[in-house]
Amino acid sequence: MPSIEPVNQVMELIKQTREKFHGQLSPEELVSLSTLEKSLEQCRPLFERPLPETVLIPDDEEEPEGRVTGPFSRLAKGGVIYGEDAEVFMPEIWVRKLGVEQGDWLAADPLGTLHDSMLYEFTVLERHNQKDKCKRVAIIAPLLYHAGEWMVFSEEEQTTLTLNPREVRSLGLQEGDLIEVAYLEGDIARARIAWKFEEQTLEERAEAKTRQAEKPRPTVDVADPLLSGRRVLVVGADLYKESFRRMFERRGACLIWESGFQGGLGKNIESKVRGTDIVVIVTEMMSHRLPDVEAMCRRHKKPYVYAPSKVPPGPFGRYRKNFVPYRPKNVKHKRSSQSCCSFSL
């Protein structure tokens, strides 16, 4: 059920205004207060009515242009989505963030180019319940340096893997770093450094995995390189706060919300604007007394978009235009397994 609190706050403010300025208000001002009070009373049933269960709608009614869909195949580092006419490489960072496994059905939507590389938004369309046999072998061990060579030792396999020194340097690794080295069965000579862990020992890594498993986290099933890890402030949309929250959190973003009925100087809003990455202003659900959020964004050099729609999908196209310098109208894919994002891992 939507919160009735903003309506009660405005009603209380009207009451305080009448009491504080009793005998000082002009007839026109009294009429304006009465009109506003009457409008709020008429809106009250809307706030007291439960929201329909299906508030959240799909991102797009039609399939996005240039979309590639198909099964996911794991590589030593990252993986490939095999579409009917194209293949798209998925970087390791998104494989891990979405928990993608061999055989999952994914979609890759082109967002545009950044530093001469194509950016994609990856979406998990269907988790593959029956686990396909994955030929990927992974070893987690500290990075060693001996006799001029970089290597890892696998206690399970009782074997030492020599690593490419250029790969070690490009990732900024140091001796003792806990890393994951992976290769496909039968191709150990092409082992890759797939990941560097924050933890320094296998024991710390095991404890961290246990803590992560115990801690409930929002379901992230869309890998959006423009939204993931960002703080998004939504101003307005009082009736649809949770719908916006789900839409942003499934992309790995952190939603910060501010009521569209706040009045006054707006110090609370400005502090939130200052600490966010992008601001979404929902124009259909805000009071005319709301402080000038746009001016705050310009003052603190924060990108902002207007979302006239009361449901979340509207802002995403505008958001991407703010962060991607070029969004191609006609995207042609080449069969390539090269990285489409500028991430090192």
State which residues of the chain have pLDDT below 70: 1-3, 45-63, 130-132, 200, 202, 205-206, 208-220, 261-267, 284-290, 308-345
Instruction: Name the residue type at position 300.
Output: H
* CATH label, 227-323, candidates 3.40.50.720, 3.90.79.10, 2.40.420.20, 3.40.50.1700: 3.40.50.1700
Parallel, antiparallel or unpaired: strands 136-142 and 149-154: unpaired
Q: Give, in order, the Cα–Cα distances in Å from 77 to each of 132, 337, 345.
A: 18, 11, 8
Tell me, what's the pLDDT at 54?
Answer: 39
| Per-residue pLDDT at 24 | 81
pLDDT reported for residue 2: 53
| Residue 326: DSSP 8-state | B
Q: Using an 8 Å Cβ cutoff, are 137 and 155 in contact?
A: no
| DSSP-derived pairing of the beta strands 304-307 and 278-282 | parallel
* pLDDT for res 317: 54
What pLDDT was estimated at residue 42?
A: 72
Domain with CATH 3.40.50.1700 in the chain: 227-323
Q: Beta partners for 119?
A: 112
Sign of the CA dihedral with 263 first, then 264, 268, and 271 last: positive
Element containing residue 232 per DSSP (H, E):
strand 231-235
DSSP 43: H
Per-residue confidence (pLDDT) for residue 35, from 0 to 100 = 81
Query: Tell me, what's the pLDDT at 33?
Result: 79
- The reported pLDDT for the residue numbered 268 is 79
